[in-house]
A and B are shown apart, each in its own frame.
Chain A
Amino acid sequence: MASYSFELNGKPQSLDCPGEMPLLWALRDPLGLTGSKYGCGIGICGLCTVHLDGTAMRSCVLPVSACAGKSVRTIEGLSADGTHPLQQAWQALNVPQCGYCQPGQLMHAASLLAENPNPSAEQIAEHMDSVLCRCGTYPRIKQAVALAAARMQGERS
């Protein structure tokens, strides 16, 4: 077992674990951050999405060894106090039903807005197409991403 060091939600973190352990399980079990969800284990559903050096990654297929020396951000670190524009838009439009997929949806959406602060409806749909939801919150997710983008534009101008 090796020791791995990385930045986790802005703070230094080290962890002794097998290097091939997926980051998802390292976060959830030894590190106790259960916001990232297990859904499929093979990188299809997107519920486990985190940011690795700012890029959205599926942590269920991302070995801890690949995170060494890098910066990991999870839903718990998306904002200090739950006020990221996406988190606000999600609440304003009453997006969650069971809510289990929403951490992944939010982290995936955040990576879009970081790259493209003013996405078109088509770009939102294209980007968000790869995270699954079983309750059927897709229509509201689309609207909430657009709302968050619009509010962020408003803040900038």
Chain B
Amino acid sequence: MNARKLDRRSFLRLTSVAGSGLMLGFAVGCERSGGSSAAPPAPALTSLSSFVSIDAQGRIQIIHKKTEMGQGVRTLAMLVAAEELDAQLDQISVINPSPSAEYSDMQTGGSYSARYIYNAMRPHLAAIRRMLQQAAAQRWKVPVSECSTELGEVVNARDGSRVGYGELAEAAAKLDVPQDAPLKAVADFRVLGRSHAHQHNREMVTGAAKYGLDQRVDGMLYACLVRAPVVGGTVRSYDDSDCAQVPGFVRSVQISGTGINTFPEYIRDGVAMIASNSWAAMQAAERLQVDWELGVNQQFASSGYMDQLRAMAEGEGLVFRQEGELQLALEDADQVLEARYSGPFMAHAPMEPMNCVAVCSQSRCEVWVPCHAQNRLLDGIKQLTGLDEQAILIHTCLIGGSFGRRLQVDYALEAVLVAKAIGKPVQLLWSRQEDMKFGCLRSPYVQKMRGAVKDGRITAFGQQIACSSVWQLREPQMLVDGLDYTVIMPAKILPYAVQNLRLSQAITALPVPQGWWRASYPTIHHTVQECWMDELIHAAGGDPFEMRLDLLADDATPLDFAWQEGWGKDLIDRKRLSRVLRELRGKCGWARPKAAGEGRGLACSIYSDTYIAQVVELTVIDGQLQLQRVVCAVDCGQVLNPDNVLAQIEGGVIFGLSGALYGQISFANGRVEQSNFNDYRLLTLKQTPSIEVHLLDSDAGVSGVGEPGAHPIMAATCNAVFDACGQRIRDLPIASQLGVA
């Protein structure tokens, strides 16, 4: 391994350490366990992507592949760097690079960043700290063992003298990178394990923070895109003569899109309206007259595809986990249960609508974009423009929420097409209405559930999943023998020891852009499985905690569920889940008496090595649901920034509650029926229950919390409704069946 020496600029800058012993730290504990993100797992030995530079003033810059969107990964990178380098927080800054061969795999998702940052960055940082110590040892002519580090300085144990990292950087850069620099012991941590506020808070509360929509480039124009209202629709002709009356309107330009199956994204056909300000572009868009060829999807409607999914749920399906004999267990049972569950499409609706600034000429393309799938975007730009990587520069902006939406890069590719067409810098803005109508949605589903109870025990559990597959739509090569592992894995990891199991999948590819929704399929399958467990436990006359714990009692060895080849496996530790359930039972007041109309519901889930259980307390009085309290117990392994973990779980709970109560995107005549927050409602502040989060001390490695908070909450809510009023909610959203206060 070689350090890249930028001596001219007095920089210590270490780059790729691929193949070196240092990388062991990256490989260990970082085995990809699948999850929501669409990228394949990082190979065990890849180039380390968090680069570090230290200038002569001691300013430390982390070049970071993970993107900040509210989940705290920028602050976490600073904390890990401050810890392992023994530096001060205020000497550290973090930037995102433009994706390239050197900075590859830039994608943030799957609740994976904390684990990645902690495991991948630390060995690298430890080596740098060691080199700084060695440089000081040479300067002082003392053994390295007498050079300790403290708050950005190396300290000489003999005489107490100190020298700052900046002063040592140039000499350190000339040293070989040590292969064996020891990692700091967790017991010696002074930064990690304590709560730290986000480093970006001040700019966020003063309005200084620059999101994608706040980017301004010299000579920039503003654009809106009038898109085909139906997937596959095309422009026959258009008339922009009324637009000239809009002050600030510049011109219109037709944009040719791609097909719904096109990789990486579907871009709708449309007409871009260019103006000197955002409002003028929107006004012009309203006046544009377009004659559309609507195409084959103009009859696409909720009733049709939900019927299709219902029929699929009744079929045999492809079995992906089978134990015992479901059919025999059903025949032999005291009670046989069967039910269908369903849920609609859902939108992400982040508060910052899609947008992107782009400049694109024959020879280069530059974009400023709130995006966290930068390599996907790079591939898309290469494909659309024919430019090579060196001619493409992607600036990652602060992101006003994503929840998976911006793993699709359609909006950014649109901006590139518009910029290319007009030959000027342009900011493309999606209105909220467009954000609702042209989103990349979470799949709808229907699931047929079966189960049996005999002698007070649950003896059978059957689940036939019918849904639309993100992969089948656009990346069918990712399917293995017809199985979509992103669909099946969240169900396959069912942790309960039910003797007779049959889990099967029936997928289709509905003609709608689809994406990952705060994990997507886990929010579906964990909801259905945990509601179904509640039904089975009720039928068996058991207690929701006791009976789950009973089914988790055989906990000697972790269960081992394989992904497709090359994707590793998920280990499910029943002991950890039991511990989380016991903790929650102790904290939530499960045994407290209830008044009429009060209900409590339990659900739990496992995602990407994070174990979480939640109890929802609510009331249903005169058909009106009112949320009261949510209690969570979480084992996410070693906790790095506790307050941020709490915030992510709180946020996940509220996100999941919005989905459970209101989340529904429906189609009629090929068009989305919802248009804004009036008909795609979010939970409001007053509706939000009190939320308590209890973190368990855990010996396990770091695991993520961005998504898991949203996973059990839908089932816990439905189970609480049943407890309160005896009504089973099997079809979401809840507000379609109950009033919500």
Contact = CB atoms under 8 A, between A and B. Distances in A.
Interface of A: 1, 17-18, 21-22, 25-26, 28-30, 32-42, 44-45, 47, 74-76, 78-79, 82, 86-87, 90-92, 94-103, 106, 125-126, 128-142
Going nearest first, the 10 A-B pairs with the smallest beta carbon separation are: A35-B207, A100-B400, A136-B654, A98-B70, A99-B204, A136-B651, A97-B70, A75-B207, A25-B279, A34-B214
B206 A100 contact: no
A139 to B, nearest CB: 6
A78 to B, nearest CB: 8
B400 A129 contact: no
B682 A132 contact: yes
B279 A29 contact: yes
A134 to B, nearest CB: 5
Given A34-B210, A128-B685, A22 B279 contact: yes
A67 B333 CA distance: 73
B69 interface: yes
Nearest to B689: A139
A64 B75 CA distance: 39
A136 to B, nearest CB: 3
B660 interface: no
A92 to B, nearest CB: 8
A48 B644 CA distance: 26
Interface in B207-233: 207-211, 213-214, 216, 222
Highest count of chain A CB atoms <10 Å: which of B69, B349, B684? B684
Highest count of chain B CB atoms <10 Å: which of A34, A97, A126? A97
A96 B201 contact: yes
A35 B424 CA distance: 25
A138 B685 CA distance: 5
Given A37-B400, A41-B433, A136-B650, 6 more contacts: A75-B207, A97-B71, A103-B207, A129-B686, A135-B651, A136-B652
5 contacts: A41-B282, A41-B676, A94-B647, A136-B651, A139-B650
Contact of A45 (B70, B209, B351): B351
Interface string B396-410: 001111110000000
Contact of B198 (A21, A35, A94, A142): A94
Contacts of B401: 97-98, 100, 134-135
Interface residues of B, number: 65
Given A82-B202, A97-B71, A136-B650, A39 B278 contact: no
B201 A29 contact: no
Highest count of chain A CB atoms <10 Å: which of B205, B206, B677, B682? B205
B351 A41 contact: no
Contacts of A29: 222, 276-279
Highest count of chain A CB atoms <10 Å: which of B209, B211, B676? B209
A141 B685 contact: yes
A132 B688 CA distance: 12
Contacts of A75: 206-207
A130 B681 CA distance: 12
A125 B655 contact: no
Contacts of A133: 351, 685
A35 B644 CA distance: 24
A94 B69 CA distance: 15
B640 to A, nearest CB: 15
A38 B685 contact: no
Contacts of A99: 70, 200-201, 204-205, 209, 398, 400
Nearest to B222: A29
B197 interface: yes
Highest count of chain A CB atoms <10 Å: which of B195, B651, B676, B690? B651
Contacts of A137: 647, 650-651
Interface in B378-401: 398-401
B643 interface: yes
A1 B248 CA distance: 10
B653 interface: yes
A74 B684 CA distance: 23
B197 A94 contact: yes
A128 B686 CA distance: 8
Contacts of B222: 29
A100 B403 CA distance: 14
B377 to A, nearest CB: 19
B707 to A, nearest CB: 13
A12 B429 CA distance: 30
A100 B400 CA distance: 5
B653 A136 contact: yes
B688 A41 contact: no
Nearest to A76: B207
Contacts of A25: 277-279
B674 interface: no
B93 interface: no
B314 interface: no
Contacts of A128: 685-686
A100 B643 contact: no
B432 interface: yes
